[in-house]
A = this chain, B = another copy of it.
Amino acid sequence: MKTFSEIAAMRAWCRDQQSRAQTIGIVPTMGALHEGHLSLVRRAKSQCDLCVATIFVNPTQFAEGEDLSRYPRPLEQDLELLREEGADAVFLPTDAVMYPDGFGTYVNPPPVSLPLEGQSRPEHFRGVTTVVMKLFQIIPANAAFFGQKDFQQLRVIEHMVRDLNVPVEIVPCEIVREKDGLAMSSRNRYLSESERVTALSLSRALVKAAELVQGGEDRADELERTMYAELSACDKVDYAVVVDANSLQPVRRLDQSSVALIAARVGNTRLIDNRIL
């Protein structure tokens, strides 16, 4: 497995591979890898000849007071996991490589970025679109693999790629869960034992909503009430909503494309989860 920390060398490797008709799948990550990330690597390997993973804790998508400085960075372990999974190359840039002095051009995210996470974390998606656009320019991948746990992020990136004509296929991948239902997240490692029990209420709320839907319930407000009730042990619920899965705009009644989305704080840890209904 090759590792690169410089842009020119990373790009040259990709071009060399592509000149020999090798297709490339990119898996952008912030490291602290778990089974969710590794499932993306496997998916990339199954669809493309080569998999390039990126590990970069992107400062522009964190606001003041968020967890940038304490975000986990178990680099050696991450590299070992990627090696075992058969990733072909890893891009590990520093902050100075990605945001050198004088940096000042940002990709302004599409309107689908505005509700939900956009309300809770106003600058977040601008950081995401900017860094993902940069990665797509550095690594000219044929396809890019993103987990559906960050459901709104996936929509934001899909719209960006469509609007700016980026020549890459965005491949959404299923959420990977722990046996007890907790959605895998690098931030789960912040949770104490008791917080981890409380954190299960997110996936449980989504299952309850799905059960109600199977029982015939189609009123968004009823489903949301049920989710909020299930989340009562959380320290703060940023949102627990049923929205249109494409626009992320509120719906009154479920239709063929609805999704339930939750963001909640357990102790100092902010968790998100979702389920297509």
Contacts and interface: CB of A to CB of B under 8 A. Distances in A.
A129 interface: yes
Contact of A105 (B102, B138, B164): B164
A104 B159 contact: yes
A167 interface: yes
A87 B184 CA distance: 53
A152 B103 CA distance: 17
B163 A137 contact: no
A233 to B, nearest CB: 38
A166 interface: yes
Interface string A44-64: 000000000000000000000
B108 A106 contact: yes
Interface residues of A, number: 27
Contacts of A108: 105-108
Contacts of A167: 11, 137, 140
Given A11-B167, A164-B133, A166-B137, A107 B110 contact: no
A15 to B, nearest CB: 9
A200 to B, nearest CB: 36
A7 interface: yes
Contacts of A11: 167
